[in-house]
Amino acid sequence: MFKKFKITCDEVTTICDKNQYGEATFWDKVKLNIHFLRCKICPVYTKQNVLLTVFYKSYSENCKKVHHCLTIEEKEELKREFNKVNTQQF
C-alpha cells in the first residue's frame, strides 16, 4: 500500500513544478509531503524553485513597465548594418 506513495526525487521535481502552477493533484501533494519526510534535499529544491519564481515574477512586472522599442535612428542604423552585411556576403 505504501509503495504507491514512494516516489523518486526526479518525480518530486516534476510534482513540485506542477504544484507551483496549480496543476498538482491532491495525491501528488500527499506523495510530495511523504517524500519530504525522508528526503532532506527535495524540500530545499522546492524552496529554491519558489524563490526563483518570485524573483522572476517581480522582474517580469518591472520589465513590462519599460518601453522596448528602437528609435528611428536606431532602426536606420540597423538597416544600414544589415545591408552592409548582406552586400559583403555576395
Q: Tell me the residue range of the domain where 45 lies.
A: 2-89
Q: At residue 26, what is the residue type?
A: F
For residue 84 the three cell numbers come to 552592409
**How confident is the model at residue 14, as a pLDDT?**
93
3-state secondary structure of 41: coil
Give the mean model confidence (pLDDT) for residues 41-63: 86
Helix (H) or strand (E) holding 4: none
Q: How confident is the model at residue 90 (pLDDT cuts 50, 70, 90)?
A: low
Structural contact between residues 40 and 10, judged by C-beta atoms closer than 8 angstroms = no
Burial bucket for residue 43 (CB in 10 Å: 0-12, 13-18, 19+):
middle
Cα 39 from Cα 19, distance rounded (Å)? 18
Q: How confident is the model at residue 12 (pLDDT cuts 50, 70, 90)?
A: very high
Per the structure, the count of domains in the chain is 1
